[in-house]
Amino acid sequence: MIYLQSDERRDFEHFDDDAAAGMRKDVPLVPAASIAGRALVTVVAIMTFLAALTAGAAMLIAHSADDWRGQVAREMTIQVRPETGRDLDADVTAAVAAARAAPGIADVYAYSKAQSEALLTPWLGTGLDLSELPVPRLIVVKLDPKAALDVAALRKAVMDKVPNAMIDDHRLWLQRLSVMAGTVVVIAFVVFALVMLAMVLAVGFATRGAMAGNREIIEVLHLVGAGDGYISRQFQRHFFRLGLRGGLIGGGAALLVFLLSSSISALMRATAGGDQIEAMFGSFSLSANGYGVIAMIAAAVAITTGLVSRIIVFRHLRRLT
């Protein structure tokens, strides 16, 4: 029989208490902080950022295309070309009168010579003498949305009085704009789907790596009777936290990009270049729905990350049975 001295007995009892306390601690199955976890957070943040940028850009383009379609559909343009032996001002006046007499027309506005020449400034620059150039005169025709318009009758009425006039009803531009907007939205959807697929694959590889690192523990837990749902929930919670952290970082970065773009666009609004950019692409300002979509993407990324890890672990445990 071995007897312990009083000091040794106290040390042994102290050690036994510490060991018991350590055993009572709730040690997670998957380490909360690891190099693989930080790498996955970075990957998820990048994927969420790209997905949010893609979705936001698609919404901006679709909104701008709707505005363009609305503006173009409400207007028509009459172009009066100058010809030798004809009075251009008289032709413009006759074309305006013929357009106003047609049914379905809300208003008619003729550009002056100076205004018509100013339209060429973005392409030709300032300081040029355009008096010798045959610059056509434009007439903007506002359509009445409550009345039907016979384009063929309007074209005949105008060209009977002004043979050198040409009417553009913008239907070709509307078709091209619709095709362009639809193509951009489809491309954005494909890019979004590819980004989400890449994120799911990254989560899958990370889950398998975590399972390989804790293989013995998983097998022991499974053998002693731990349920598949319990083990898979541990992985789901772990990867849900990682996905939520990465989603918040990526979504927050995307929101910051759109807020900065909107601020820069507002500062450039008074300049000629800023006005042209805003006319073509809008104000780069997302609506409340756009910010809500980005928040939903971040939440969906976190949920998807947790579900993917749970499914992979559950399938692996089923193979052990």
Structure tokens at 160: 């009977």
Phi and psi of 33, rounded to 5°?
-120, 120
Per-residue pLDDT tens digits of the chain, which is 321 residues long: 333 344 434 443 443 444 334 433 445 556 556 666 788 889 899 999 999 998 888 888 887 777 777 666 678 888 888 888 888 888 888 998 988 888 888 888 888 888 887 777 766 666 666 666 778 888 888 888 777 777 888 888 888 888 888 888 776 777 777 788 788 888 888 988 898 888 888 888 888 887 777 777 777 776 776 676 777 777 788 888 888 999 999 999 999 998 888 777 777 665 655 555 665 556 667 778 888 989 999 999 889 888 888 888 878 777 766
For residues 16 and 14, what is the distance between their CA atoms, to the nearest angstrom? 5
Lay out the sheet containing 75-80: strands in order across: 105-110, 137-143, 75-80, 165-168
Q: What DSSP element (H or E) covers 131?
A: none
CA 321 from chain centre, in angstroms, equals: 45
Closest CA to 293 of 61, 55, 62, 57: 55
Contact (CB, 8 A) for 251 and 52: yes
End-to-end alpha carbon distance in the chain = 47
Q: Where are the domains of the chain?
A: 31-69+175-320, 82-163
> What size, in residues, is the chain?
321
